[in-house]
A and B are shown apart, each in its own frame.
Chain A
Amino acid sequence: AQTVTQSQPEMSVQEAETVTLSCTYDTSESDYYLFWYKQPPSRQMILVIRQEAYKQQNATENRFSVNFQKAAKSFSLKISDSQLGDAAMYFCAYRAGTASKLTFGTGTRLQVTL
């Protein structure tokens, strides 16, 4: 079975600084997708960034980028120029290419301080 591990229950970053959230996963599949979701206090899960396993280039979305290390099964999220609005729970998620369901990690709570 696929598993997703987030080893940092909480992280803190100062406004305008950079923070990296860690995620590792375990799978025997060769075709899969990885995601980072943000869950603010409003509770709605919002897609931050995605990565297709077949792509070697790391995905980037504005201030958000990933470091995808396929051999190491590692998928970290870097948030640059952190803003107060980035404070939320962040979940790493995996989806096998042939599947529909997402498998989530336990989340990292990000605090942004002034």
Chain B
Amino acid sequence: DTGVSQDPRHKITKRGQNVTFRCDPISEHNRLYWYRQTLGQGPEFLTYFQNEAQLEKSRLLSDRFSAERPKGSFSTLEIQRTEQGDSAMYLCASSLAGQPYGYTFGSGTRLTVV
């Protein structure tokens, strides 16, 4: 297993376009998390899944954002009608429920909205 994979690594999009990011967690991990990191800040929690169930969503996750984890494996994060304020690094992490410190992060997708 090569860890948490995120695709694409970079994405440049025009304002108003929709974008979708993918995250492939470590195969035996049943929890998957999405974080957003803006320049000069620490990552901020967006949402997490346990298996296919989305158990928590941050108020940062506006109605233009949607995340899915079909079949409890990979996850997608879609942003509709992108705005310049959406420009950030989107980080994915996975862990095994019951292990309080077993987070593994991916390398992130850097989104630039022009």
Contacts and interface: CB of A to CB of B under 8 A. Distances in A.
Chain B interface: which size bin?
Answer: 20 to 34
Contacts, number: 53
Interface string B22-64: 0000000001010100001111110010000001100000000
Contact of B107 (A44, A93, A95): A44
Given A43-B107, A43-B108, A104 B44 contact: yes
Contact of B101 (A33, A45, A105): A33
Contacts of A47: 101, 103
A62 interface: no
Interface string A98-114: 00111111110000000
A35 interface: yes
Given A100-B33, A102-B103, A43 B43 contact: no
Contacts of B111: none
A100 B31 contact: yes
A50 B105 CA distance: 15
B67 interface: no
Contacts of A100: 31, 33, 48, 55-56, 95
Nearest to A91: B42
A95 B31 CA distance: 15
Contacts of B107: 42-44
B105 A44 contact: yes
A3 to B, nearest CB: 11
Interface residues of A, number: 23
Contacts of B79: none
B91 A45 contact: yes
B72 interface: no
Interface in B65-108: 89, 91, 93, 95, 100-101, 103, 105-108
A101 B108 contact: no
Contacts of B108: 43-44
21 contacts: A33-B101, A43-B89, A43-B107, A43-B108, A43-B110, A44-B108, A45-B91, A46-B105, A47-B103, A95-B101, A100-B55, A101-B33, A102-B43, A102-B45, A102-B103, A103-B45, A104-B43, A105-B42, A106-B42, A107-B41, A107-B42
